[in-house]
Structures are given as C-alpha cells and as structure tokens.
Amino acid sequence: MSRTALPEFLSNAAVPTELQSVILGLADVSVTISQALAKGALAGVLGAAGAENVQGEDQKKLDVIANDLIKDALAALPAVRGLASEEEPDVLACHTDGQYLVTFDPLDGSSNIDINSMVGTIFSVLPHTGSAAVTEQDFLQPGRQQAAAGYILYGPSVMLVLSTGNGVAMFTLDQDQNRYLLTEADINIPVEAKEFSINMSNQRHWVAGMQHYISDLLLGKEGPRGKDFNMRWVAAMVADVHRILCRGGLFTYPWDSRKPEQAGKLRLMYEANPMGFLVEQAGGEVWTPEGKILDIQPEHIHQRVPVILGAASEVKICVDYHQR
C-alpha cells in the first residue's frame, strides 16, 4: 500500500515552505531522539542528569540530550527566529529574518524514561510578529495564533501528530527508511466520553467543583451521570492526549492546593496550547475552569495553567461543575 510521506503531505496541503522546513526539521530530529530512547541503558542515557531545570524539576539525561538536539536542529533553520524550551530559562534568538518562533517540551513525561514507558516531544510554532531582536514578549501570543502544533509520541511505534490549522493528521515512523508516513487523517474526537484521565492521588487537594465532578463519574451507572466511566493515567500528557485523539475521553490536570501559588502543573506555552490546538482541530474542547485555553493572553514563557480537555460535551460538563 502506498502511503503519503510527510513532505508530500505538507506540499499537498499548501503549507508555506518556511513552515514546512520547521516541521520537517522537528521530524528529522525526532528520529535521532527515538534512536537514543530505543538504545536506553545500552547507550548509558538513562537516569538523572544531576541538575534542575528552570522549573526546579530534576532533569533526566535524556531531557538534556533531547533539548540539545532540538535546539541545534531548529537553530540551524533560516525560518526559525527564536526558540523557547521547557529546559531553558530564557528564550533564544536565532535568525534575524526567520518567520517563526518555536516553543517545545523536548521530552514530556520524562519520569517514564527509566521505566521504559511512553514519552513524547511537544511543539508549538508561532508567527514572528515582533521586533528585530527577539524577546520573550514576542512569544506571548494566545494559542489561537499558532501556525502549527503537534507532538511526537515515542511508544511501541513512533508517531508524529500534527495540525497546521486544517484538521489533525497522524504519521507513523517507517523505521526502515526513517521517514514519517500518513496513517490517519481527519481525526475526530467522539463528542461523548467513556473514559477520564486524572491523577487520582491528588483528589483531596482539588477544588470542590473537581471533587464533585470526579465523585459523580466514579458513581457510574448508579450515580447522576447514569453510566460507567473507565480511567487511564499514563503520567505523560502526550500519551494521554494521544489516547483521547484516538478514542475519546476527558483529560485534566487541575489546580490543586499542594502548591496554591501555582495555577496548575502543566505549562501553557509548550504543553496546553499545542495540545489544545490539536484537540480543538479534532472537534474537542480545551478549557480552564474559567475559559478557553487558546484565548489566554500569556504573561510569561513558563506560565502554568489548569487544563481540562477532550470530548466537547464532557469538557462542558466538567466546567459546569466548577461554575455551579
């Protein structure tokens, strides 16, 4: 069976050449990252790097390796004006006439690395509309302005999931030829949910709205929702969102009282916005308890946000519980 390769897909979709170069650059470097992940202990890449990132989180060796690989690959592309990464304290300026800014989480779910479970790379591409010298301010655009967003899921197969604002497509890495081939187009999240995804161990720390919502899901057929729900939690947002794009459901990482000063755990500019772009493009909804995530005006590059995303009707129900 002949399948469409990623470069051909991008040309057929009339994606601007410069944006194509950014997406293809990310696709190429993800092959190298997937090879490092596959070698694992044999290449001595597992375990802690012995340093903390700007968020105060312990870095894994592979966090650092993936960050350096993506940074070098993107900085070499003339279309890239600037970069921002979860692993970098500040934004980095690249080419002075580049058209795009890229934010990325080089290895999402990195606590899964040492247990040989799923991890991913998340990216968001924004148009550069600011001054000649790139500053953090240039990146602070609402998620709705993204030119493209996506992720690479390093699982049993390696998949690249992408939107350039015209639906969501999934590509699988052909590891014999190191190229991504289209395996699913026009992804649609079912409107009704049968599964939810939340770290239940934090239940006692959530606000009342989230406590009531989840309690009612757990009551199943006997409760007010009148049906049973299944639960899944991979602890890598990429893998949990991938499941939602494939078979529906709701994913949430809410605000909780363990760190009341933090709006949530997930980062707006390289987790919630790119995933939000994909989910909306697949017909789903992406909210905080107060409003749509893609409409948030960011205040800083490492900003955090509570996230409720997935099946449109279920996200609305969850938000309603908060607003009652």
Known binding residues for Mg(2+) are 86, 105, 107-108, 271
Q: How far is the CB of 110 from ligand AFP (least distance, A)?
A: 4
Whichever of 100 and 255 has its CB closer to ligand AFP, that residue is 255
**Nearest position to ligand AFP, beta carbon:** 237
Q: Which is nearer to ligand AFP, 201 or 323 (CB)?
A: 201
Q: Between residues 6 and 250, which has the closer beta carbon with respect to ligand AFP?
A: 250
For residues 1 and 168, what is the distance between their CA atoms, to the nearest angstrom? 22
- Give the nearest distance from C-beta 85 to ligand AFP in angstroms: 13
Considering the complex, what minimum distance in angstroms separates the CB of residue 4 from ligand AFP? Answer: 30
List the strands of the sheet with 148-154, edge to edge: 92-93, 80-85, 100-108, 119-127, 148-154, 158-163, 169-174, 179-184
Listed in sequence order, the residues at least 6 apart from 299 whose beta carbon sits closer than 8 Å to its beta carbon are 140
Closer CB to ligand AFP, 79 or 107, in the complex:
107
Contact 275, 233 (CB under 8 A): no
State in angstroms the smallest separation of the CB of 68 from ligand AFP: 17
Each residue of 55-90: b (16+ CB within 10 Å) or e?
Answer: eeeebbbbbbbbbebbbebbbebebbbbbbbbbbee
What is the nearest approach in angstroms of ligand AFP to the Cβ of residue 239? 8
**Measured from the CB atom, is 12 or 199 closer to ligand AFP?**
199
Return d(Cα 247, Cα 187) in angstroms, integer: 10
Q: Is 293 exposed, middle or buried (0-12, 13-18, 19+ CB in 10 A)?
A: buried
Judged by CB, which is closer to ligand AFP: 56, or 156?
A: 56
Minimum CB separation of residue 77 from ligand AFP in Å reads 25
Nearer of residues 99 and 112 to ligand AFP, judged by Cβ: 112
Run of H or E including 51? strand 48-52
Nearer to ligand AFP by C-beta: 71 or 304?
304
Min CB(63)–ligand AFP separation in Å: 8
**Known binding residues for substrate:** 108-111, 199, 265
Which stretches of the chain bind ligand AFP, using CB under 6 A? 57, 108-111, 199, 235-237, 253, 265-266
CA atoms in the 13 A half-sphere facing the CB of 192: 5
> Of the candidates 199, 194, 81, which has an alpha carbon nearest to the alpha carbon of residue 131?
81
Length of the chain: 324
Cα–chain center distance at 109? 10
- The tokens describing 212, both together, are 């009531």
Name the residue among 84, 82, 117 with its Cα closest to residue 100.
82
Torsion angle of C-alpha atoms 105, 241, 257, 259, degrees rounded to 10: -10
CB of 279 to ligand AFP, least distance (A): 14
